[in-house]
Amino acid sequence: MATKEEVSVMIVSNAAQGHINPTLRFANRLISKNVHVTIVTTELVQNRILNAHNVPSTTLNQQPSQNKQIQFEFFSDGLSLDFDREKNSETFINSMKTIGAKNMSTLITNLAKVRDYYCIIVDPVLLTNIENVSNELNIPVAFLWMQPCATFSISYRYFRNVNSFPDLNNPNEIVQLPGLPLLKVRDFPTYMLPSFPPHCRQIMVDMCQACDTNVKWVIANTVYEWEVEGVKSMSSLSPVYTVGPLVSDFMIGKNDVTNNNMINMWNVEDSCIDWLDNKPNSSVIYIAFGSIVVLTQKEVDNIANALKNSKKSFLWVIKPTLKGSENDATEFPKGFLEETKGRGLVVTWCNQEKVLSHPAVACFLSHCGWSSMIESVTAGVPVIGYPYWLDQPTIAKIIVKQFDNGVILNYEVNEVPSVEEIERCIKEVMEGQEAKEIKKRALDLKGSVKKALEEGGSSDKSIDQFINDVVDAHNLAKA
């Protein structure tokens, strides 16, 4: 019979920044339970890490974690490293389903020859690419959902025809689903909508089908107490292990801030921490839109003018355009940097967890990507939601609205929030009548994170249960 000390699992991750870091954090949680973890991802990640940190490839496995129980392995997705995968998503997806899938399968097969893997834990984007090799190797599959349980529930119920849905062409149509508040079609993940590119939408169709045919366990990056009814509503369809939030240990007071086990695929500008050190507590607006969203010129103009008019200090992250990208470069309004000199700082990338944990930060103007939201909740920082696409409208509605730890910008579908609307939200969160209550609710949520992750908390127990179930399944298969 196997014991936990002998357990090895493989995690296959998408190359996006918002997937790699939660993957690494989950790996470290498993490692703390004496589980060996191999992380498999594309060479694009390897290349970006090496370029950002200027380290030799031979030391990469030692960079994210000094724990010898973790290793990285890379495969080619079939495209050159400077190919713009975001702009040419259909070509990228097709390459991943063909050349990438073949390379990944070869790598996984070779790894399985030298180590007995109990489970392959898979990112949703790569789930269907894993099916054949996992069946051939007779290794069960777990599905690592990087979003809240709510978005999984909505997607699964729609794509597997579990519940009836209205006409999705009407953004204001109201929908009631088990375990969720009343929603409008405009609150749904955009990959469900008819206007979404078919080749991208198909990923979700295939993923939900795979959950019925090839997935033994579903792991969600959420906290049980945040989504009690949603988790319960899914239990009869697909039991969910809630193991989140997958944030660095230092955010919950376990480790020093310098040992936070993060991977950054862009150069981090740590000077912003020194800049924050010289600002009063709860005085700075932090603005960041993740690693994928690219702002239009109008969006940059409106945010910049709202920040200028607010008279508040701000730290604004604008990601550099990647090599090979065809996105148009944006510029700040004339005179913006000069007029805000001293109270504003613009950087190309930062350690977001360190920034959100800084006492000078008052609120977070965010696209509502799930990684950003759980980091904000863990830090106790109120949110100004500016959702774009994918799961972000749902997260903004169900999480921010339900938690009431911030506000959501009011703007029409396919429009841009006005300068006045951005100003209104900044004022409401930082100095309005509800500002103190919003901050109090944000701090209450921060307390729920630490409780869930401590020994015996809901997330800690879920990880233990997952490991026990993996061991039992392995022992049964070997009996």
**What is the pLDDT confidence band of residue 256, given thresholds at 50, 70 and 90?**
very low
pLDDT of res. 213: 84
**More reliable by pLDDT, 276 or 402:** 276
**What is the pLDDT confidence band of residue 325, given thresholds at 50, 70 and 90?**
very low
* Nearest of 160, 121, 156, 140 to residue 241 by alpha carbon: 121
What is the arithmetic mean of pLDDT over 408-433? 90
* Nearest of 252, 284, 218, 235 to residue 374 by alpha carbon: 252
pLDDT of res. 397: 86
- CB of 263 within 8 A of CB of 20? yes
Say if residue 187 is exposed, middle or buried (CB neighbours under 10 Å; 0-12, 13-18, 19+). Answer: buried
What are the backbone dihedrals phi and psi of residue 118, each rounded to the nearest 5 degrees, phi first? -80, -25
pLDDT of res. 269: 65
Q: How many CA atoms lie within 13 A of 425 on its CB side?
A: 25
**More reliable by pLDDT, 432 or 370:** 370
pLDDT of res. 31: 92
d(CA 77, CA 70): 22
Task: For residue 443, give both structure tokens.
Answer: 């701090």
d(CA 126, CA 139): 16
Q: What is the pLDDT of residues 67-98, one digit of tens each?
A: 456 889 999 988 888 888 877 878 888 888 88
Amino acid at 292: I
Assess whether pLDDT exceeds 70 at residue 4.
no
**More reliable by pLDDT, 424 or 58:** 424
What is the arithmetic mean of pLDDT over 253-272? 59
CA angle, 14 then 459 then 260, to 5°: 55
* Nearest of 28, 49, 46, 48 to residue 37 by alpha carbon: 28
Q: What is the pLDDT of residues 46-73, one digit of tens each?
A: 887 666 555 444 445 544 444 456 889 9
pLDDT of res. 319: 77
Burial readout 219-233 (b: 16 or more C-beta within 10 A, e: otherwise): bbbbbbbbbeebbeb
The gap between the terminal CA atoms of the chain, to the nearest Å, is 9
Domains and their CATH numbers in the chain: 4-249+453-478 (3.40.50.2000), 251-257+267-449 (3.40.50.2000)
d(CA 300, CA 330): 7
What is the arithmetic mean of pLDDT over 8-23? 85
DSSP at 329:
P
Assess whether pLDDT exceeds 80 at residue 394.
yes
Burial readout 319-357 (b: 16 or more C-beta within 10 A, e: otherwise): beebeeeeeeebebeeebeeebeebbbbbebbbbbbbbb
Amino acid at 220: A
- CB of 344 within 8 A of CB of 284? no
User: pTM of the prediction?
Assistant: 0.87
Q: How many CA atoms lie within 13 A of 331 on its CB side?
A: 3
Task: For residue 363, give both structure tokens.
Answer: 């609120």
Task: For residue 389, give both structure tokens.
Answer: 């696409």
Q: What is the pLDDT of residues 446-456, one digit of tens each?
A: 999 989 999 99
Q: What percent of the chain has pLDDT over 70?
A: 89
d(CA 43, CA 408): 37
**More reliable by pLDDT, 378 or 400:** 378
pLDDT of res. 3: 47
What is the arithmetic mean of pLDDT over 149-161? 92
What are the backbone dihedrals phi and psi of residue 22, each rounded to the nearest 5 degrees, phi first? -60, -35
Q: What is the pLDDT of residues 232-245, one digit of tens each?
A: 888 877 779 999 99
Assess whether pLDDT exceeds 90 at residue 305.
yes
Mean residue pLDDT of the chain comes to: 86
pLDDT of res. 51: 65
pLDDT of res. 279: 96
**More reliable by pLDDT, 407 or 401:** 407
Assess whether pLDDT exceeds 50 at residue 2.
no
